[in-house]
Amino acid sequence: MRYRLTFVAGLALGYVLGTRAGRERYEQLKKSVREVAQNPAVRNTVESAAQQGRDVAGKAFHSVSERVGDRMPDSVAERVRSLRERGQGDTEDDWGTSNT
């Protein structure tokens, strides 16, 4: 799924950069992207995907730390902890949605 999304984003960027339709078409595309980004369904999907990623990172950290023990580098442990803490609470993220 990540590769498909990356491909579509690259395709859109290539079209925008390579288009000869001019500023008007660029403004239409920009408006469409803004509408999609502000769609509640899209925002909820992004929010749930981010939360799921944080949950998976936490589970992976626990399973790896059980096997590795104290050999886990502090930088990795701190990064995972910060990601897990960032996902808790009712603070807003960059999209203006709550991190629940």
Give 44-73 as a DSSP string.
HHHHHHHHHHHHHHHHHHHHHHHHHGGGS-
Q: Which long-range contacts (CB under 8 A, 24 or more apart) does 58-62 make?
A: 58/83, 58/84
Nearest C-alpha neighbor of 57 from the set 74, 91, 82? 82
Which residues are CB-neighbours of 50 under 8 A, at least 6 positions away?
87, 93, 99
Query: Model confidence at 60, in pLDDT bands (50, 70, 90)?
Result: confident
Q: Residue 40 has which token pair?
A: 């509640």
* Residue-wise pLDDT tens digits, 21-51: 677 877 888 899 899 989 999 899 989 998 8
CB 81, CB 54: distance < 8 Å: no
Give strand pairing partners of 57.
Answer: none
* Residue-wise pLDDT tens digits, 64-97: 777 776 777 788 778 777 776 776 554 555 555 5
Query: pTM value?
Result: 0.46
